């Protein structure tokens, strides 16, 4: 009976030792994602394109700016 518990513990230790490395591996692959730059119009945040240029909306024609990934944070802060 004691042997079985000892084996279970060693197995759990092996699993515990292995899982952090597996987790760090997944985070590493997640971090290495292609840097996709999006462009948006300062006046029309709803217009988003992956190419730089000018806003196609009528009476606008503003130069598109790089949409930052932190836009979500600012939107949340506004709320």
Distance of CA 39 to the CA centre of its chain: 17
Binding of residue 6 to Zn ion (CB under 5 A): no
Residue with the shortest CB distance to Zn ion: 55
H or E stretch covering 65: strand 65-67
In whole angstroms, what separates CA 36 from the centre of its chain? 11
Find the binder of Zn ion among 18, 57, 68, 73 (CB under 5 A): 57
Nearest distance from C-beta of residue 14 to Zn ion, angstroms: 58
Instruction: Enumerate binding residues for Zn ion (CB under 5 A).
Output: 41, 43-44, 55, 57, 60, 62
């Amino acid at each position: 009976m004691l042997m079985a518990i000892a084996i279970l513990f060693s197995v759990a230790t092996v699993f515990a030792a292995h899982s952090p490395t597996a987790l760090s591996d997944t985070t590493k692959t997640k971090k290495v994602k292609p840097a996709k730059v999006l462009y948006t119009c300062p006046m029309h945040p709803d217009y988003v394109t992956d190419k730089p240029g000018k806003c196609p909306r009528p009476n606008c024609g503003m130069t598109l700016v790089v949409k930052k990934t932190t836009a979500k944070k600012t939107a949340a802060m506004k709320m």
